[in-house]
Amino acid sequence: MGRAEVKEELRTKLRSRRKSISRINFNKWSKQIRQKLRKQEEFRAAAVFHCYVSINERREVDTHPLIKEVLAEGQRVVVPRTNFNEQKLSHFSLQSFDHLQLSKWGGLEPTEGKQISEKELELVIVPMVGADEDGYRIGYGGGFYDRFLSETHCTSIGLCFEQNVVPELPVEPFDIPLNKIITEKRIIHRSGE
């Protein structure tokens, strides 16, 4: 079996594992992860941060309360919109959580707002299906975040439930490790940092 097949099999297994998280644990662990994220120096220092809008039905670490809180505090939040034709993400400054609408992908995406360049971002909060001990992530397989992260030069922090961390992922040349991965139990730093 090739690396791509191994990765796809692992992705399916990790998605299934994540989907089985109970509502109680999902809420509890998501809150613990958000609290850890807010204590990170990179988070406190970032004037403009990019954050995925979680698809809670898929049990992505819940970012809805985080986005609402930081908007209320006056911090600049940038959220992604998926462009399937170009196979890339566009990034929009968000003024209100109410400016998000359900997309065909099943997630909430901005309907309005100023488009932001990757160069303006100071921190990126990244979704994932799973992670490994070296700071690599596995997503849904579309490559949207790998392409996006290859164009940014700021800190990237991934949010992942501990049960979806594996010792090592099959890594491909285009995979970009994150600076940190936060779970409800710990913070994983990229190898060598």
The pTM is what? 0.94
Q: Which pLDDT belongs to residue 170?
A: 87
Q: Residue 170 in contact with residue 127, Cβ under 8 Å?
A: no
What would the pLDDT profile of 145-179 be if each residue is shown by its tens digit? 988 998 888 999 999 999 999 999 988 877 889 99
- 3-133+142-189: which CATH number, 1.10.2020.10, 3.40.50.10420, 1.10.10.10, 1.10.3720.10? 3.40.50.10420
> CA torsion 180→92→149→181, rounded to 10°?
10
Task: Name the residue among 122, 131, 109, 118 with its Cα closest to residue 53.
Answer: 109
Q: Residue 111 in contact with residue 101, Cβ under 8 Å?
A: yes
Cα–Cα distance, 163 to 167 (Å, whole number)? 11
Q: Which pLDDT belongs to residue 49?
A: 92
CA distances from 25 to 19, 33, 62 (A): 11, 12, 12
